[in-house]
């Protein structure tokens, strides 16, 4: 799975999204949202390959390895340990897709992002945002998880 993302194009998505709502960033680590946010979104991976099934399989594997997290069709604000998943087109990086977890408690999204990065350390560092989906993401499609 080391080739799961095109690192250069994937990095463009993270740069385009910006730093609004971020709490901390460690080199090679997850950019975390404050743990008390009730509307959080984690950009877990991005890719220009179009191989969505492979990316969702990787994320699904992480979720299955952590059965205390529940995949739901829609997250509920204020509810922890549950996340919904969607893929988005990146507005300013043609052909790039972002794979996103949305959580009703940012600590859940922070933990999911950390687990994904631990499982796939070659991907660009995931970022978790408090508030609305970052404005550079468009055309949501539900994930096959």
Higher pLDDT: 49 or 111? It is: 111
The answer, yes or no, to whether residue 25 has pLDDT greater than 80, is no
The answer, yes or no, to whether residue 51 has pLDDT greater than 60, is yes
pTM (two decimals): 0.82
How much of the chain exceeds pLDDT 70, in percent? 81
Q: Provide the b/e sequence for 63-97 (b: ≥16 CB within 10 Å).
A: beeeeebebbeebeeeebbbbbbbbbbbeebeebb
Chain mean pLDDT for the chain? 83
Give residue 104's pLDDT. Answer: 96
Q: Which residue matches tokens 């299955």?
A: 64
Q: How far apart are the first and last CA of the chain?
A: 18
Give residue 8's pLDDT. Answer: 32
The answer, yes or no, to whether residue 19 has pLDDT greater than 60, is no
Q: How many residues does the chain have?
A: 145
The answer, yes or no, to whether residue 11 has pLDDT greater than 50, is no
Average pLDDT over residues 29-35: 93
Q: Are 97 and 50 in contact (CB under 8 A)?
A: yes
């Amino acid at each position: 799975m080391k080739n799961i993302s095109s690192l250069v194009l994937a990095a463009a998505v993270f740069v385009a999204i910006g730093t609004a709502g971020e709490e901390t960033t460690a080199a090679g680590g997850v950019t975390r949202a404050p743990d008390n946010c009730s509307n959080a979104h984690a950009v877990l991976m991005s890719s220009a390959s179009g191989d969505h099934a492979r990316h969702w399989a990787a994320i699904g594997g992480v979720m299955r390895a952590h059965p205390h997290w529940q995949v739901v069709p829609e997250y509920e604000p204020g509810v922890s340990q549950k996340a919904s998943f969607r893929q988005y087109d990146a507005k300013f990086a043609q052909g790039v897709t972002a794979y996103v977890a949305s959580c009703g408690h940012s600590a859940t999204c922070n933990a999911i992002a950390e687990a994904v990065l631990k499982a796939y350390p070659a991907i660009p560092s995931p970022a978790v945002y408090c508030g609305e989906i970052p404005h550079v993401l468009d055309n949501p499609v539900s994930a096959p998880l």
